Chains A and B, each alone.
Chain A
Amino acid sequence: MLTWMLVLMVLLPALAAAVAAVVKGALARWVAATAAALVAVLAVWCCLASYGVSYRVALGDLPWLAGTLPAPVFGVLLDPVGCILLLVVTVIGFLTVLYSTRYLSTANRDHPEGPEAQGRYYFWLLLFLASMVGVAISPNFLQLFIFWEMTTVCSWALISYYGTPKSLAAGFKALVMTAAGGLFFLGAICVLFAKTGSFEFAALGQLPGHWRSAVFVMLMIAAWAKAAQVPFHTWLPDAMEAPTPISAYLHAAAMVKAGVYLMARSVISTSAVPPKVALLLGAMALLTMFIALSYYFIQDDLKRLLAYSTIANLGYVMLGVALGALGSVTALRGAMLHILCHGFGKATLFLCVGAVAYMTGSRSISALAGVARTMPLTATAFFIGVMAVAGVPPFGCFWSKFMIVAGAMRLPGAIGPVVVTLVLVESLISFAWLLHVAQKVFLGKTTPVACVNSDPPPAMSAVLIVLMLGCLVAPAIGIPLVQWIGR
């Protein structure tokens, strides 16, 4: 039963994608919303059904590999790590689709969009949802890689959706960078197969010493490219040319998380990560956090600011994973929790920016002020999003960041306190800047640009309300779930 539900979760959105591409007009969005809602319900059910256990079933094999591998190539795997990603992907995916049904309309002042081309949008969005579910339930590296590359293609298509020269260039850049990372992933898989004859996650542990380091470094490069970590961080801000719901979903909540998910998967599956590799991962994560932070102060586009914040927060997850590789289960759990909490927080922020752009036609920090007067719900959601992402208790990311820094504190000697101090300094500065920007945009005297009538349409407002609640309750769902990791 659970197996077929999991398979259905991949097939259903893929099928709906095909339907959405064919049907005309408003029907596409209803097909998309229904499919996404079903997948979200299924995902919640699957997570409850497999709560606390690692559920694994083999489904099929490649004919020429049959019998040579310890386990068939294709199958499903659902464990607490996968559950976290699955919940983020499906729940926020549904909310994104729901939001998109109103966002893509002629009433949108930022990008008026008629109903004709929307089939294409929902096709890629649903295909992405299917591939992301595939990433979350893949039992080995090979299957993971296949879905991984599918997400890259969807990302390219959706970034370039508007078809302007800028968005085409941005889409190409994202494709080149993430596909180049994907090549390293492929290389890692080849080495793994050549050396151990297996694609399993756990096979990493069977690799001989220096090969293990090499494979980890290759996986790390793939993860950096996917998660927009230094030195591959430049594609993400450019990818903000995408429609805002796409930025919220692919480039904050879901796709970029695939990169950190790969690292988490690798670290969890084997207890023998070479310490030098783990240190490199952690150091690059810290570097990423500060480099991303340094870009905050010169941004005028709200979405680009949020993109840099995403990069920094993915750095937190990477840091947590690295600490996990160095032996701290708490930090590893914190990293997984951060995937969930940051997903909700950042999606809230992006969709608020989308709502502001929808109503006012502007995303410029300098042009907007006093938006709260006419859009109180959006303003509330944005402030809650800021608190959630910056890690102000009781909202989501406080708990995950706290677990990560608690793990860092357990590092031996003076490294622990130094890392904790660095992380907290970054956290404080980014909090201060985001709060400043929130005040600048939403409070103060209303500028002419911001003179609009009301909050966005009900469907979008409802999504914002759900996300606000998500920011608050995400840790309540996530903390019990991550307790199962690393047992």
Chain B
Amino acid sequence: MSIAELLAVAITVLLVGAVASLALARWRRLAGWVSTAFVAAAAIAIWVVVLRAFSSPAEGEATVLVLPGLGARLSVVVDPLSAFFLAIVATIAVVATLYSVDYMTHFAGNTLAKFYPILLVFFAAIVGVLVVSDFLFFLVCWELMTLTSFFLVTFERENAASQRAGLKYFVITHAATLCMVVAALLLWRECGSFHFGDLLAALAQLLVTRPVLAHTVLGLLFIGFATKAGVLPMGDWLPDAHPVAPSGVSAALSGALVKMGIYGLVRFFCAVLPASAAAVGWGIAIALAGTASLFVGTLTALGQTDSKRLMAFHTIGQIGYICLGLGVGIACLRSAPTLGALAIMGALFHAANHACFKACLFLGAGAVLYRTGERDMNRLGGLAAAMPLTAGSSTVASLAIAGVPPLNGFASKWLIVATCLLAGMRQPLFLILGLVAMFISLATLASFLKVLGAVFLGEPNPERQVSEVPATMATAQIVLAALCVLLGVLPFWPLRFIREAVAASVPITVPSASELLGGPWGLSVAGGGVALAVWSPLALVGGMVVLALVAYGLQRAGGAGTREVAVWTCGEEHAAATVRYPASSFYLPFKHAFEGIYPRIRWRVPAFPAGVRRAFDVDSWAYQPVARLVERSAGAVSRSHVGVPQVYLLWIVVGAVAVVAIVLGLVG
């Protein structure tokens, strides 16, 4: 089968699954299992596509439908960049659906007829976004993705917060889409086609001939993609929408949906800019936007007490890292291909890693919500004993997002920060941005220590009987946590594929994988043939394992026992669980220091001035006077109807005389 046929199979399977789950919606778990089966089948087809795209030379485009009047055609092509994101989406989709099987049994008041079918169409739309190569149909898939995710966010019908968040999400992202429509049309005006290749060629041309127009187009595209990715300030929808969605959906949103923004940025910005003179300017702009997001997003997350809202802010922060890497890459790719390519690869790697650990964290928060009904971390605590699997996988994911070696977050952040610092030798601004990113990594760690401390450690609430979540939910979390470890320990292998993706999407020849990354056992950042920075996770893990074995051996040899002690509270007297250190008390100095960093704006419906209203009220000054006039003249005419035949005869005579007089007057 060709790639296009495989994709058709995958999308058909998803749509058939949507219909099947709609029919079975009454049986909650069954609908979940059926959906999972269909998603898994589609994911297998997609993974085959992914492997084919990386292994064999690129297959040509397959055109499904042509709209000659508009210069648009529905054509499908999978290059390594699409394939890379397809891999993320396929994985996250299976995990999120599997997780939902048991999770969604909880929403008794809401029928699942509005969950699984929409979820499956949502995945189909994302696949569509990644494989079409025509901007019109890209927009169709893109908005279908927004539309379906809107209904997933507003799943809880009676929850006013979900409705508000959903509306905000849809309106903001629809505005962003309209920006993309304008950008596409501006380019279409130049080249008469919506095909990606033609549009990019037109954009590259415009950058030379009409830079103002080209920068407008790029700006509009940036708004469009960055809004979806969650870059501040347009990403303001994200902290509202992610927490209110069912947790499986939160994971899919954070893991897959926001990555589509990154895909768009790479597809359009990395494909055109590095070869042009505007590369440095746009690179700095994107890097600055990313740094602002990671700074504001993460520091705002530090003060949150709602576990899912906290994670949503971290999504903004981590997307900031990705943008920082992309910006550095775009700025440096032409002058220093190795550095630039490594930065973009770091960014893409971070996208994949973020999908793993953030999805895992959302699923963990969802697991806690499922068992306790709480998202407020002030009222949680001590769950580690009752929910060891959830606690374990959340801990791994927390350390991964904070960039603790040897987990995957470290590998990608290391690439981003290292390239940033090295690029700082050419462009000092990047040095500052890299330092900010390093500092924020610390804030991320602090923030997740708070989550782990407040949710899983401390005294459990004695009134609450909590047990581990069902196997489906636990499996989903463990798979993601395992991926976090795997990608962290063996970063070379995913990065080899990512190199293909970067090579396929940038206009500059990218050095080979071994040249970029060194040997298969680690990573290195080279400058002028000299390795400037090296990271070798296997050696580190090996050393740690050896040390642990030695320590264990010493303990056994010495016959030392372990002892249980109370939590050390810095010597303070500690009383009941109700007065323990709550989540809202963490990092108060930070909260005060960065109080206004995330302002909230209240929107109101504009009130029109009275004069304008009156001017618009055409009835009062046009129709009603005319209607009154008609009525009055009708009254006047009716007065002549006196009901006396003689008077009517007189009128006839007078009229006849008048007519004769007029005719005579005209003729004579």
**Chain A residues close to B by CB (< 8 Å):** 173, 176-177, 230-231, 233-234, 291, 294-295, 297, 329-330, 333, 370, 372-373, 376, 383, 387, 392-394, 398, 402-403, 405-406, 409-410, 416-417, 420-421, 424, 427-428, 431-432, 435-436, 439, 443-445, 479, 482-483
A409 to B191 Cα, complex, angstroms: 13
Q: Smallest CB-CB separation from B151: which chain A residue?
A: A383
Contacts of A428 in B (CB 8 A): 171, 174-175, 178
- A479 and B67 form a contact (CB under 8 A): yes
- A439 and B68 form a contact (CB under 8 A): no
Q: List 8 A-B contacts (CB under 8 A).
A: A231-B622, A294-B608, A333-B69, A402-B70, A405-B181, A406-B70, A420-B185, A443-B157
A64 to B556 Cα, complex, angstroms: 120
A407 to B147 Cα, complex, angstroms: 26
- A393 and B157 form a contact (CB under 8 A): no
Contact with A along B619-645 (1 / 0, CB 8 A): 100110011001000000000000000
Q: Is B198 an interface residue (CB 8 A)?
A: no
Contacts of B608 in A (CB 8 A): 294
A447 to B: closest C-beta gap in Å? 12
Closest CB pairs A-B (n = 9) = A393-B140, A409-B185, A432-B171, A393-B143, A424-B178, A234-B619, A443-B157, A439-B163, A231-B618
- A173 and B627 form a contact (CB under 8 A): yes
User: Which of A177, A398, A432, A443 has the most chain B CB atoms inside 10 A of its CB?
Assistant: A443
A109 to B67 Cα, complex, angstroms: 47
Name the prevailing secondary structure of the B interface residues: helix
Q: Is B497 an interface residue (CB 8 A)?
A: no
User: Which of B68, B163, B185 has the most chain A CB atoms inside 10 A of its CB?
Assistant: B185
A294 to B612 Cα, complex, angstroms: 10
A482 to B189 Cα, complex, angstroms: 21
Contact with A along B366-395 (1 / 0, CB 8 A): 000000000000000000000000000000
A268 to B133 Cα, complex, angstroms: 34
Q: Is B105 an interface residue (CB 8 A)?
A: no
A230 to B622 Cα, complex, angstroms: 12
Contacts of A421 in B (CB 8 A): 182
A234 to B624 Cα, complex, angstroms: 11
Contacts of A424 in B (CB 8 A): 178, 181-182
A154 to B166 Cα, complex, angstroms: 43
Contacts of A176 in B (CB 8 A): 623, 626-627, 630
Contacts of B627 in A (CB 8 A): 173, 176
- How many pairs of A and B residues are in contact by the CB < 8 Å rule? 100
- A443 and B163 form a contact (CB under 8 A): yes
A468 to B: closest C-beta gap in Å? 14
A431 to B146 Cα, complex, angstroms: 14
Q: Give which listed residue, B139, B163, B185, contacts A393 with CB less than 8 A.
A: B139
Q: Smallest CB-CB separation from B171: which chain A residue?
A: A432
Q: Give which listed residue, B157, B170, B182, contacts A420 with CB less than 8 A.
A: B182
Q: Give which listed residue, B167, B185, B186, contacts A439 with CB less than 8 A.
A: B167
- A402 and B616 form a contact (CB under 8 A): no
A108 to B: closest C-beta gap in Å? 27
- A436 and B69 form a contact (CB under 8 A): no
Contacts of B572 in A (CB 8 A): none
Contacts of A410 in B (CB 8 A): 189
Contacts of A417 in B (CB 8 A): 182, 186
Contacts of B143 in A (CB 8 A): 392-394, 398
Name the prevailing secondary structure of the A interface residues: helix
Contacts of A444 in B (CB 8 A): 157-158, 160, 163
B211 to A: closest C-beta gap in Å? 16
- B616 and A291 form a contact (CB under 8 A): yes
User: Which of A295, A405, A406 has the most chain B CB atoms inside 10 A of its CB?
Assistant: A406
Q: Smallest CB-CB separation from B154: which chain A residue?
A: A443
B186 to A: closest C-beta gap in Å? 7
Q: Give which listed residue, B70, B158, B185, B623, contacts A177 with CB less than 8 A.
A: B623
Contacts of B111 in A (CB 8 A): 376
B635 to A: closest C-beta gap in Å? 16
- B181 and A387 form a contact (CB under 8 A): no
Q: Is B188 an interface residue (CB 8 A)?
A: yes
Complex interface residues of chain B between 450 and 487 (CB less than 8 A to chain A): none
- B174 and A431 form a contact (CB under 8 A): yes
Complex interface residues of chain B between 54 and 82 (CB less than 8 A to chain A): 67-70
Q: Is B605 an interface residue (CB 8 A)?
A: yes
Q: Give which listed residue, A173, A402, A403, A431, contacts B623 with CB less than 8 A.
A: A173
A483 to B146 Cα, complex, angstroms: 29
B90 to A: closest C-beta gap in Å? 23
Q: Is B144 an interface residue (CB 8 A)?
A: yes
- B68 and A483 form a contact (CB under 8 A): yes
B77 to A: closest C-beta gap in Å? 20
B215 to A: closest C-beta gap in Å? 14
Q: Is B136 an interface residue (CB 8 A)?
A: yes
A435 to B151 Cα, complex, angstroms: 12
A409 to B217 Cα, complex, angstroms: 14
Contact with A along B110-136 (1 / 0, CB 8 A): 010100000000000000000000001
- B157 and A372 form a contact (CB under 8 A): yes
A202 to B622 Cα, complex, angstroms: 34
A477 to B: closest C-beta gap in Å? 14
A427 to B630 Cα, complex, angstroms: 39
- Not counting A443-B163, A482-B69, a sample of 20 additional A-B residue pairs whose C-beta atoms are within 8 angstroms of each other reads A177-B623, A234-B618, A234-B623, A295-B616, A297-B605, A333-B69, A376-B111, A392-B147, A393-B140, A393-B143, A393-B144, A406-B70, A409-B188, A421-B182, A424-B182, A431-B174, A432-B167, A444-B158, A444-B160, A483-B69
Contact with A along B136-156 (1 / 0, CB 8 A): 100110011011000100100
Contacts of A432 in B (CB 8 A): 167, 171, 174
Q: Smallest CB-CB separation from A292: which chain B residue?
A: B616
A373 to B174 Cα, complex, angstroms: 27
A229 to B: closest C-beta gap in Å? 11
A173 to B626 Cα, complex, angstroms: 11
Contacts of A402 in B (CB 8 A): 70, 136, 181
A446 to B111 Cα, complex, angstroms: 16
A414 to B83 Cα, complex, angstroms: 39
Q: Given that A370-B157, A392-B143, A439-B154 are contacting pairs, would A233 and B167 also be in contact in the complex, using a CB cutoff of 8 Å?
A: no
Contacts of B140 in A (CB 8 A): 393-394, 398
A392 to B500 Cα, complex, angstroms: 35
Q: Smallest CB-CB separation from A180: which chain B residue?
A: B626
Contacts of B174 in A (CB 8 A): 392, 428, 431-432
A427 to B171 Cα, complex, angstroms: 11
A393 to B: closest C-beta gap in Å? 4
B485 to A: closest C-beta gap in Å? 40
A405 to B70 Cα, complex, angstroms: 12
B28 to A: closest C-beta gap in Å? 16
Contacts of A405 in B (CB 8 A): 181, 185
Q: Smallest CB-CB separation from B111: which chain A residue?
A: A376
A445 to B157 Cα, complex, angstroms: 8
A421 to B182 Cα, complex, angstroms: 8
A231 to B175 Cα, complex, angstroms: 30
Q: Give which listed residue, B136, B178, B186, contacts A409 with CB less than 8 A.
A: B186
A428 to B176 Cα, complex, angstroms: 10
- A230 and B618 form a contact (CB under 8 A): yes
Contacts of B69 in A (CB 8 A): 329-330, 333, 403, 479, 482-483
- B167 and A435 form a contact (CB under 8 A): yes
Contacts of A436 in B (CB 8 A): 167
- A394 and B144 form a contact (CB under 8 A): yes
B520 to A: closest C-beta gap in Å? 44
Contacts of B605 in A (CB 8 A): 297
- A427 and B178 form a contact (CB under 8 A): yes
Q: Given that A392-B147, A392-B174, A402-B136 are contacting pairs, would A373 and B167 also be in contact in the complex, using a CB cutoff of 8 Å?
A: no
A230 to B619 Cα, complex, angstroms: 11
A233 to B: closest C-beta gap in Å? 7
A308 to B: closest C-beta gap in Å? 11
User: Which of A177, A294, A439 has the most chain B CB atoms inside 10 A of its CB?
Assistant: A439
Q: Smallest CB-CB separation from B189: which chain A residue?
A: A409
A233 to B617 Cα, complex, angstroms: 10
- B171 and A435 form a contact (CB under 8 A): yes
